[in-house]
Structures are given as structure tokens and as C-alpha cells.
């Protein structure tokens, strides 16, 4: 798959195993894994952080294989999802950091271009999430109020 703002292909990254069967060596039962997900979410972890913790500490290779639903669906059932999706919040945090950098370094044109690209990604994601119904249709993106969403 090609990168969004460059002509490069970008094939690096981890690959999931081709077999889509439940591993037999896992010591945790599905109910225990669900309770772990809820506990970690209440500690303030995002869904991707929860997946990494389950993989690295608890030895759960793929939650979706075991529970037959992703972490975000489990959090949605328990009403533990945040108002905005995680990837949108991450992009907003990046925009805040770039803005802070530009306040200190006015002539950094590369950072200015990075901010433009990040803003366009944010706007594209907001458009998608409004169509998908994950955020309200009347929700507005205001770059001057970014810090409010990222804290």
C-alpha cells in the first residue's frame, strides 16, 4: 500500500500469521482476557496499548482470534470508548507538538509542511468518521482548540 503524502510504497511492518485458528497454548480463558481489557481501559490505556500489553506481558497473540471480536468492540459494549477515536486523537496530539515546535522555531518550513499534512489527515479522518457515525455530524474541527482534545 502506498503512503499518503509521498510516492513511496512502504512495505515495512509486522505481519500477522496466516493461520486463523485459536492457539491452544494460551493459559487465559476468554472471560479473563475480557476482564483484563476492561481493567486496562479503566487505567487509561488506549485500545492499541491494551493489545500490546496483552501480547507482551500476558502472552495473548491476538484478541480477535480468541474472543471473536476486536478490543474496540469489547470497550464499546462496556461503554468505555472515548468520545473521539484513538487514531484521530493521536493525529491531534502530533499537530499540538508541531505547533509548539513552530512557536519556538518560526522559520522551520519542514515542520510547517508537516503541520499541513497532519491537518489534512485529520480533516480526512473526521470526514470518514462522520460518514461512519463514530462522531456526531455537527462536530467541528478547530485547530485553535486542539489542546482541549489531547489532554
Q: Based on the number of CB atoms within 10 Å of its own CB, is 18 exposed (0-12), middle (13-18) or buried (19 or more)?
A: exposed
* Per-residue pLDDT tens digits for 62-120: 899 999 999 999 999 999 988 889 999 999 999 999 999 999 999 999 999 999 999 99
Per-residue pLDDT at 13 exceeds 80: no
Nearby residues of 137 by Cβ (< 8 Å), 6 or more positions away: 130
The helix, strand and coil proportions of the chain, stated in percent and rounded to the nearest 5, come to 55, 0, 45
Nearby residues of 114 by Cβ (< 8 Å), 6 or more positions away: 98
| b/e 120-142 (16+ beta carbons within 10 angstroms → b) | ebbeebbeebeeeebbeeeeebe
Query: Look-up: residue for cell 455537527?
Result: 138
Q: Based on the number of CB atoms within 10 Å of its own CB, is 19 exposed (0-12), middle (13-18) or buried (19 or more)?
A: exposed
Cell (9 digits) for 53: 500489553
Single pTM value for the model: 0.81
CA dist 128 and 74 (Å) reads: 22
Task: Give residue 151's pLDDT.
Answer: 63
Amino acid at each position: 500500500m502506498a503512503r499518503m503524502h509521498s510516492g513511496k510504497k512502504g512495505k515495512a511492518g509486522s505481519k500477522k500469521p496466516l493461520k486463523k485458528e485459536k492457539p491452544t497454548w494460551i493459559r487465559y480463558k476468554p472471560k479473563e482476557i475480557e476482564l483484563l481489557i476492561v481493567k486496562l481501559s479503566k487505567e487509561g490505556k488506549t485500545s492499541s496499548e491494551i493489545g500490546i500489553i496483552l501480547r507482551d506481558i500476558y502472552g495473548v497473540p491476538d484478541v480477535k482470534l480468541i474472543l471473536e471480536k476486536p478490543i474496540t468492540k469489547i470497550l464499546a459494549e462496556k461503554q468505555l470508548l472515548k468520545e473521539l477515536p484513538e487514531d484521530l486523537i493521536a493525529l491531534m496530539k502530533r499537530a499540538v507538538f508541531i505547533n509548539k515546535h513552530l512557536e519556538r522555531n518560526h522559520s522551520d518550513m519542514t515542520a510547517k509542511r508537516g503541520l499541513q499534512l497532519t491537518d489534512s489527515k485529520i480533516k480526512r479522518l473526521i470526514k470518514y468518521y462522520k460518514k461512519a457515525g463514530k462522531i456526531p455530524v455537527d462536530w467541528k474541527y478547530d485547530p485553535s482548540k486542539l489542546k482541549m482534545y489531547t489532554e
